[in-house]
Amino acid sequence: MPRVKRGKTHVKRRRNILKKVKGFRGGRKNLIKLAKTAGMKAGAHAYRDRRVKKRVNRGFQQVRIGAALKELGWSYSKFMGALKKSGSVLNRKVLSELAAKEPEIFKKIVEQVKK
């Protein structure tokens, strides 16, 4: 049986690792050992932070809605409770967009929930 040389595979693996870490600083972009760990950690952080982003954005939405409601004399928690009781299908993302960009429409929604 002939001997198998793995040069192609080895080079391809290294090339793919270095492609992933292109733009990193220091030896993390061109030293294989450092690049491999940097790429692994970057992937783990990216996975985790996609979930953190959702968490942070929901906080921003709550702040936006709360600020708009303060002007109308409502608290966030009272409004959300009343909104749930009214059976509305609007979510926080839509409400925060309306509060920021269309305050008149948001005001009408608040008036409907009050009833």
Q: Is the pTM of this model over 0.75?
A: no
Residue 36 structure tokens? 């491999």
Q: 30 to each of 11, 19, 39, 40, 44, how far by Cα in Å?
A: 14, 10, 12, 15, 20
Structural domain contains residue 3 = no
> Does any domain span residue 8?
no
Any domain includes 5: no
Q: Into how many domains does the chain fold?
A: 1
Which one, of 97, 84, 90, 87, lies nearest residue 57 by Cα? Answer: 97
Token code pair at residue 82: 């009343």
pLDDT the model gives residue 88: 85
Distance CA 54, CA 110 (A): 25
Give the CATH number of the domain where residue 104 resides: 1.10.1900.20
Residue 110 included in any domain = yes
What tens digit of pLDDT does each residue of 48-61 get? 999 999 999 999 99
- Measured distance CA(9)–CA(21) in Å, rounded: 19
Range of the domain at 95: 26-114
